[in-house]
Structure 1
């Protein structure tokens, strides 16, 4: 039996988002149509968040989220409420396997800084009140690296990439402190950008390799410097995602290219890694995780389909991963959230809860 984990990330954990119930979809539609008030929408959100908090605790999870029930997108709702950014409708949505996402994005519109009235701070406080000490509270925001996706930086406002990076870093230092002051002690940064730097869809040659290595170095520096002033008792993890939209994905590729830099030098408490299918590659990149360093939360249970994984297969994969990272540093989770956007993945709520309970049960079997 290995040591019981009493600090996040936990042996059985989850990425954060949950399927939105029909009642929430209906309330948001009614609000957009002007038939209910913002206060009434907030009441419905609170009631549904209370329900899923209870369900997460009932499943045996040690950290609970609000399911991202107040958001439309896992990232854009946060990004557009920072000073210096605005939401807009582009010509095209994000490209996913077999489909294009709903059209929405953010762009740089001015000098960048943290908004002390950011609505997510109130969301965190409300979640803490709802949980009321019954569990650890987890909250996710997009990684600072998400602001380096193509088309976001305005070169007329920020012609110098380094100045842009400096202002993003300062914004996140302020954001991290603001979430801490709001009472949060478990923060997750969702990062599609840096995972995309290792995507198989982008060919590596001498020229692009040099450029990509520069961007990987920059991404690791932005991450680390954004967390340089975080309080010691704030746990921060990073979730690396290859895209999650209505059970589809955006790209594939192993962690080989980014592991020697991100895994070896990333100053975080844990990495949530997607390992639910062959798109993820093997466990070999985990050899770069320092001994007694960040925990590795293995996302070997998929959130994209409802079929429950085979217990033995999951246990065997954890054992295989332990050949590269000591078992005591490993944890288990779904590979991604169940609803990175308001649309949700193609499975039922019942299947979602069965997946989370399964993770708790397997974690007890492996780690005791």
Structure 2
């Protein structure tokens, strides 16, 4: 089982190669069809998986090559969800962004053709060509829906549910339950639920926004814990489901600041099999908040390698930090980068050569894992 063998892993996304960028632009400009774009993506993903295996990874992803955003492309699989486009200044530059919004009754329709399910089927077929290799599917978590609709956009109600937030939470959880079982039925045994919503709540400026909207931090934490826990209620015993969160990684820039002390005890109560947590620099603080995992049957995955800083970490320094984490969380521990290399299609401010050097560094750390 994955829980018995996981010692190192990646978070999921990789820098988009030139052929993907060119194909996506050609599709946007109407020069190629959707089928031709999919063919280009398939070829690039097959090449990526081959590289992942060659570089020593045991768990492979499709690099999120088919996505514009790490979270919204997945959330669009649900009925009752859509996005709003607008321009926003981030770190001094103007960016075209999207935020999610609830537009009606929220559910997952298993009778529909789902692009993300088709993407999984293709990745799974590639991984099966290699001995000892497991495919991992990454999706965004249910909290992101609540963050965008209520806190980012400032809505007080939804078109279908009105002000009945708990009715919405129940339906979001049910939709995730159905989607999780759909992936399971398609052979998926390793799912990663990415949910940066927790780190919004440790940021002082965002906490002020919560207060200004008339909510409390405790209230939002309750929403998040409730919907995340309910989403996993019917998880099959042999389905390994992890979660990952960082402090944002928009084109290599962090979006939030703060320590995990106030959220770790809440997150730890959600029955995930592994917790991928960002710890690549001092802004993450100490590992102490995660001592709550020491007596739980879950793996703490220390995200010690930066995917946004091109400088390669020192092997001995990683060994020291890993030992510090182990002294806090116990022996159920693994190593990973702090995030993916391209949470959005533009990617982080590093090049592909550095990306693979980071992967090689990760794999080289097996001597102390």
* TM-score, reference length from structure 1: 0.92
Shift of 1:222: 1.1
Determine the C-alpha separation between the residues in 2 that align with 1:366 and 1:72.
36
Please list, as runs of the form range in 1=range in 2, the aligned pairs for 1:246-325 lying within 5 A after superposition. Answer: 246-263=251-268, 265-325=269-329
2:26: which partner in 1?
30
1:351 aligns with 2:354: yes
Determine the C-alpha separation between the residues in 2 that align with 1:345 and 1:186.
25
Count, aligned residues: 357
1:333: which partner in 2?
336
For the structure 1 residues 150 and 88, does the alpha-carbon distance in structure 2 shift closer, same or farther, using more than 3 Å as the test? closer
2:367: which partner in 1?
365
Shift of 1:217: 2.2
Determine the C-alpha separation between the residues in 2 that align with 1:98 and 1:334.
26
1:182 aligns with 2:176: no
Two-structure CA RMSD over aligned residues (Å): 2.1
Deviation sequence 1:316-353 (CA, Å, 0-9, x none):
00111112111x21111110000000000011111101
Determine the C-alpha separation between the residues in 2 that align with 1:318 and 1:349.
26
Contact in 2 for aligned 1:299/1:335 (Cα 8 Å) = yes
2:123: which partner in 1?
127
For the structure 1 residues 293 and 86, does the alpha-carbon distance in structure 2 shift closer, same or farther, using more than 3 Å as the test? same
Instruction: Give the 3-state SS of the residue equivalent to 1:229 in structure 2.
Output: coil
For the structure 1 residues 308 and 222, does the alpha-carbon distance in structure 2 shift closer, same or farther, using more than 3 Å as the test? same
Task: Name stretches of at least 5 consecutive residues in structure 1 with no aligned partner.
Answer: none
1:113: which partner in 2?
107
Contact in 2 for aligned 1:76/1:106 (Cα 8 Å) = yes
* TM-score, reference length from structure 2: 0.92
1:142: which partner in 2?
140
28-37 vs 169-178, greater mean Cα deviation? 28-37
Instruction: Give the 3-state SS of the residue equivalent to 1:125 in structure 2.
Output: helix
Shift of 1:213: 1.4
Contact in 2 for aligned 1:186/1:235 (Cα 8 Å) = yes
Q: Which runs of 4+ in 1 moved over 6 A?
A: 207-210
Task: Name stretches of at least 5 consecutive residues in structure 2 with no aligned partner.
Answer: none
Contact in 1 for aligned 2:48/2:62 (Cα 8 Å) = yes
Determine the C-alpha separation between the residues in 1 that align with 2:91 and 2:334.
29
Shift of 1:290: 3.7
Determine the C-alpha separation between the residues in 2 that align with 1:189 and 1:182.
17
Contact in 2 for aligned 1:9/1:269 (Cα 8 Å) = no
42-51 vs 287-296, greater mean Cα deviation? 287-296
Shift of 1:101: 3.7
Aligned to 1:88, which of 61, 71, 84? 84
1:171 aligns with 2:175: yes
Instruction: Give the 3-state SS of the residue equivalent to 1:297 in structure 2.
Output: strand
Shift of 1:293: 2.0
For the structure 1 residues 101 and 283, does the alpha-carbon distance in structure 2 shift closer, same or farther, using more than 3 Å as the test? farther
Contact in 2 for aligned 1:8/1:186 (Cα 8 Å) = no
Instruction: Give the 3-state SS of the residue equivalent to 1:85 in structure 2.
Output: strand
Determine the C-alpha separation between the residues in 2 that align with 1:47 and 1:20.
13
Instruction: Give the 3-state SS of the residue equivalent to 1:105 in structure 2.
Output: strand
Shift of 1:202: 4.1
Determine the C-alpha separation between the residues in 2 that align with 1:181 and 1:203.
40
Shift of 1:285: 0.4
Shift of 1:248: 0.5
Contact in 2 for aligned 1:300/1:335 (Cα 8 Å) = yes
Shift of 1:357: 1.2
Contact in 2 for aligned 1:19/1:349 (Cα 8 Å) = yes
Determine the C-alpha separation between the residues in 1 that align with 2:146 and 2:215.
17
